[in-house]
Amino acid sequence: MIKLSVNGTSLTYDGDEDMPLLWFLRENAGLTGTKYGCGIGQCGACTVHLDGEAVRSCSVPMASLDGAGVTTIEGLPQDGKLHSVQAAWLEEDVPQCGYCQAGQIMAAVQFLRQFPNPTDDDIDAHHTNLCRCGTYGPIRKAIRRAAALAQPTGGSSTRGSLS
């Protein structure tokens, strides 16, 4: 029996331990915001936070998750209020088809914890989620906007350059 916490709720699992976390989230927990895109950890559509790290849930077997704490896109808003990264995503009108965006947002949230005031080079080096609609330009702007929103002064970041 595997016990884990998802978005603060305690859940158990006693099925095939090879099954990746992605399918537990989608099919057992009913949290379909986390998407299947490739199944091999390449595209990032399934990105969630596992004990504070961004991971690609299609490549994390349930066997490794006893006692783990998982946050999905559904667990990101606090007190009914969108996370600053989600708000920035809306302000920059990022989504086209939107399928990859939950993963993009989860990756960006974790990235901004490590790089609270990122340069373009930081973004290029560390934000690796794929988007076939090609929303990368708006994603770059939204990451920078979210960084600015999170500054204590609420002021805007001045490093790097943007068109």
What region does 122 belong to: left with phi over 0, alpha with psi -120 to 50, or beta? alpha
Q: Which two tokens stand for residue 31?
A: 């949290």
Min dist CB 89 to another protein, Å, is: 5
**Distant-in-sequence contacts of 84-92, Cβ < 8 A, 24+ apart:** 84/146, 84/149, 84/150, 85/109, 85/112, 85/142, 85/143, 85/146, 87/146, 87/149, 88/142, 88/143, 88/145, 88/146, 88/149, 89/142, 89/146, 91/142, 91/145, 92/138, 92/139, 92/141, 92/142, 92/145
Minimum distance between the CB of residue 66 and another protein, rounded to whole angstroms? 18
Smallest distance, Å, CB 28 to another protein? Answer: 9
- Write the interaction track for another protein spanning residues 111-130; mark x where CB under 8 A is met and - where it is not: ---------x--xxx-xxxx
Give the residue with the Cβ less far from another protein, 153 or 158: 158
50 lies in the binding site for another protein (CB under 8 A): no
Q: Is 136 in the site for another protein (CB under 8 A)?
A: yes
Binding mask 62-91 for another protein (x = CB under 8 A): ----------xxx-xx----x---x--xx-
| Site membership for another protein, residue 17 (CB under 8 A) | no
CA end-to-end span of the chain, whole Å? 52
Interface positions with another protein (CB under 8 A): 16, 18-20, 23, 26-27, 30-40, 42-43, 45, 72-74, 76-77, 82, 86, 89-90, 93-102, 105, 120, 123-125, 127-140, 161-163
